[in-house]
Structure 1
Amino acid sequence: MASSSSSAPFINVCDKELSIDEYHSVYDKVKPISASWKSFAISLRLRITDINIIEASSHGNPISCLQKVLEHWLMKDYDYERYGWPCWRMVCVAVKEGGGNSALADEIAREHPLPAMPPAGSTSSKGTYIS
């Protein structure tokens, strides 16, 4: 039986929006792929013009480039309405595809699972009913 994960990679990874406040958490996880920063940036859907500016302003330093890529991405300085907001799911996809590191992507996926959904029909209240 074919796996459905090929059509929706990392479907069980948290897709809650990340903000610039999570910069250090994201950076600490993706730092090992800094040598592949450009492919990673492309996978995150940053504009090629921005990627070229990042490369020029960082003099090609991979760590500096990766830091600026994350800054652009977490501040939604890309077409997020088309590609989706920054989230751990996108990090996993970009680490695997752009960073070429499936093991690291799987590790991040395990650390940031999709939150458990409440059972169907349940409400957010504690179930206390006053009659």
Structure 2
Amino acid sequence: MKIKLTLDEKYREMVEDIRSVNNPNCSYYMDNYTEKIEALTRSWFDSADIYEYQVKVIERIHSADEVQFIEYNYKWRLKSDKFRKRYIGIDILGGVLFFKQPEAANNIKKSEFKKLLEGTGLPFEAFEGVDIDD
């Protein structure tokens, strides 16, 4: 039976790291990708013994026949807390707006957001994508 995984683009670096070795050292990955592995563990397994299932997550990623990455929509905001209006929105003419409340911001894919910033002088590195539920 073939194992095919579909994961958010944010897991790409971790997945490529895990799949690049013959025998993954689970403790290394749990130390270096703690939040990402815990998030996948909670979404794939319903168990109180999270450590045992984190190992299974790493093994599943390592043994997968195919891994497909998809872009999800995020709300984008300025990384600095010094700005009161830091969440990004788009007006009907395609202009960039800043909002104080995250619920007022638009959900945008990373590639779409980078394209939106072109020609604005705003560096992509000044922003961060936050999960829609944040």
**TM-score for the superposition, normalised by structure 1:** 0.28
Structure with the largest fraction of helix? 1
Q: Compare relative contact order (CA 8 Å, sep 6+) and give the higher one, 1 or 2.
A: 1
